Structures are given as C-alpha cells and as structure tokens.
Amino acid sequence: MRTLFVWMAGCLTGLAFVPAAVASGWNMPVGVTDLSREIHSLHMTIFWICVIIGVIVFGVMFYSLFKFRRSRGAKAANFHENTTVEVLWTAVPLLILVGMAVPATATLKKMYDTSDAELDVMIIGQQWRWRYEYLGEDVAFNSSMSTPRAQIRGDEPRGEHYLLEVDNPLVLPINRKVRFLMTSDDVIHSWWVPDFAVKQDTIPGFVNENWVRINEPGIYRGQCAELCGMDHGFMPIVVHAMEEEEFDTWLAERREEAEQEAMGVDREWELEELMERGEAVYASICASCHQPEGQGAAPAFPALAGNQRLLDDLTWHLDVIVNGVSGTAMPAFRSTLNPVEIAAVTTWTRNAWGNDSGDAVQPADVVEKLANQ
C-alpha cells in the first residue's frame, strides 16, 4: 500500500506543474467570448476527469505489480468470471461518458446557433490572403500579411508579431453577435482565431457558418489552419475588436471611402496615380506568387518583368487579370479587386521593372470590360 501512496504522491506533485504549463501557452486560451470560456471550462473539466481516472487506474496497476510480484511468492488467482466487476467496469465508464456528453452537446448547439446576428461578414479564403465583405454595408477589402520580406529572408530582425501582422485587419464591434459566412475561391483554407474559439474550414463551392460575440476590445490574432499551398504559413488573421460607437464610426468612414472609390471610375487617372496605387495592390495581392521584383517562380508563376506577350497585348493582359487562366494557379480577380485596383495593378505591371510600356489603363476601361463579360 505504501508503494501506491508514493506513486500517487508523485503524480500529484507532477500536477503542480500544470498551472505553469497553462501560463506558458501549452493549453488552449480562455478567450474573450462567453462561448470560448464555456469551451475552455468544458475542456478543463474533461481534462481533470481523465487525470483522475489515469491516476486511479495506473495507481492500482502499479500497486498490483509491486504488491503481488513473483519474488514475494505471490500466486495468481484462478477464477472464471466476476459479474459484479464486469457490470461495474461497463456502467461506470458509461456514466462518465454520458456525464461529459450532456454539457458538451449543449455547448455544441450554441456553437452552431448563428441566429439573431446583428452583423454579417463574408470571409473568403484565397491563396494566400483573406477577403472580408460586410454584407449590406458595401464595405469589402483584402487582408494580406504585412511582415516585410526582409524579415522572412533573415536580413532584418524579426518583429514582435512576425508572420502575424496584416495590412487590413478585420474590424468587429464588441457586444454584438457577428455571423461569419465562410467560403473559398481556390482551395480549402481554415479561419482560426484561438481567442474566439472559432476554427472553420473555408471550402470552394460551400458556405459554412460560424459566429462570435466579443466581450473585450483588443487585437486578436490567428492563422490559416489548413495546409493550402506554398505560402500557407503566410496567411495570418488579425481582428481588431472595437467599442460599438468606434466601430460605427469606422464603418461609416469605410463606406465613404468605397463611395469615393466608385466615383473614381468616372475620372481620368494620371499615370503616376495609377503607378502609386498599383504598387500597393501588387505588393498585397500579386507579389507572393510573381515575386516582389516580378521575376516569377517558374513554371507555376511566370515572370512579369520583361514578359513580351504582356507588353505586346494589353487586351490579353487585362483579360488574364480579370478572368484568370483556367487550369493554372492564376485566379480571376474580377470579384476580388475593384475596377480602380485592377486598372492600377495592370498599369503597374506594364511599367515596372523596366517594362516601361507607357500605358495607363483607366478604371473606365475595366468597367467596360466587366460589363461585356
């Protein structure tokens, strides 16, 4: 019996290190939503049930090994069955499983209840970025990793949020139920933010639902959790949770920006304006495949610098950007970029890296092409 107590004391001593493990980030976070906290509580309850079962089972096992070892003259008992024991080892695990399943099922029902949402956001996975559309608000934008390539190459020291920083974070209000509608334009991705206890696959041709109600303002980070290609590790997620009044102001400003952008379609843009805008769009959307200097990554991603077909055929060049190329890694950007952005990035790629075509593609030209699709 003393051996059993010594072994169990050792197990309990090991459990003393659990808080330190949790503090080190080995455990799932508590999160900042009621549901994430409920999931964490359920997780810890089941964890401790498993720990207690393990201590009892292994304690009895090791006690038996030492107490009834052959060197002490122990002889095995010879019996055929014990109905009481068989009933106990069937009934007790069944009761434990039922006891865990009841609260787990209740939590699962809450996870899938997307009704009564106050804001709908479409999340679209793309290689290798996210697109967010605030449904009914005429606000949409792309979110790409903003960690400098120099840090990735090791030319500069890594920043505090290395590979977990973006140019345009998803902005959400606190204390409002937000429904996510999730899909993908190319391959399967997975939108995962641990502090929300949300991890949902985005699948081409399907729309999955999830939701969140954030309790605390702040910056929350996540990543794509489904292997999705070459730059899978470069698909961070950043969510900026704001007070409700601050969010309403931000949303109104973004709506106004969208209206101004739409008005920009009707005016004539100077080459310098298009080049400045196009450089930003290229860095955010195109550089991960065609490389920062347009050198490409053959054979999947052809070089744009010095590409003679690109320079000789503007119609073909614009069609590739708008409609993509079937059977290749080149997607269609007609739904991802607005006419101003398409015109700007087309102009940029025709004049950067020594291409120097002198062409200034106007947003009105893009609108006309889209209208004729």
What would the pLDDT profile of 92-128 be if each residue is shown by its tens digit? 999 999 999 999 999 999 999 999 999 999 999 998 8
Look at residue 179 and give its three-state secondary structure: strand
Q: How confident is the model at residue 266 (pLDDT cuts 50, 70, 90)?
A: confident
Asked whether residue 21 carries a pLDDT value surpassing 60, the answer given is no
Instruction: Give me the mean pLDDT over the 179-193 stretch.
Output: 96
| Dist CA 31 CA 25 (whole Å) | 12
pLDDT computed for residue 9 by the predictor: 53
pLDDT computed for residue 216 by the predictor: 96
| Dist CA 339 CA 313 (whole Å) | 19
Query: How many CA within 13 A on the CB side of residue 373?
Result: 15
pLDDT computed for residue 72 by the predictor: 80
pLDDT computed for residue 59 by the predictor: 93
DSSP string, 75-103: -----S--HHHHHHHHHHHHHHHHHHHHH
Residue 48 CB neighbour total at 10 angstroms: 12
Asked whether residue 15 carries a pLDDT value surpassing 70, the answer given is no
pLDDT computed for residue 4 by the predictor: 47
Asked whether residue 12 carries a pLDDT value surpassing 80, the answer given is no
- pLDDT, tens digit (0-9, with 9 covering 90-100), for 207-253: 999 999 999 999 999 999 999 988 899 999 999 999 999 999 999 99
pLDDT computed for residue 18 by the predictor: 52
Mean pLDDT of the chain: 89
Instruction: Give me the mean pLDDT over the 360-364 stretch.
Output: 90
Max avg pLDDT among 4-13, 113-122, 289-298: 113-122
74-96 per-residue burial string, b: 16 or more CB within 10 A, e: under 16: eeeeeeeeeeeeeeeeeeeeeee
pLDDT computed for residue 230 by the predictor: 85
Protein fold of 2-72+81-111: Helix Hairpins (1.10.287)
pTM here is 0.81
Protein fold of 267-371: Cytochrome Bc1 Complex; Chain D, domain 2 (1.10.760)
Asked whether residue 336 carries a pLDDT value surpassing 50, the answer given is yes
| Dist CA 188 CA 186 (whole Å) | 7
Closest Cα partner for 193 from 358, 59, 36, 339? Answer: 36
CATH class of 119-262: mainly beta
Q: Mean pLDDT check: name the lowest of 46-60, 253-267, 274-288.
A: 253-267
Domain ranges of the chain: 2-72+81-111, 119-262, 267-371
- pLDDT, tens digit (0-9, with 9 covering 90-100), for 155-169: 899 999 999 999 999
Instruction: Give me the mean pLDDT over the 265-269 stretch.
Output: 86
Q: How confident is the model at residue 2 (pLDDT cuts 50, 70, 90)?
A: low
| Dist CA 336 CA 237 (whole Å) | 18
Instruction: Give me the mean pLDDT over the 272-286 stretch.
Output: 90
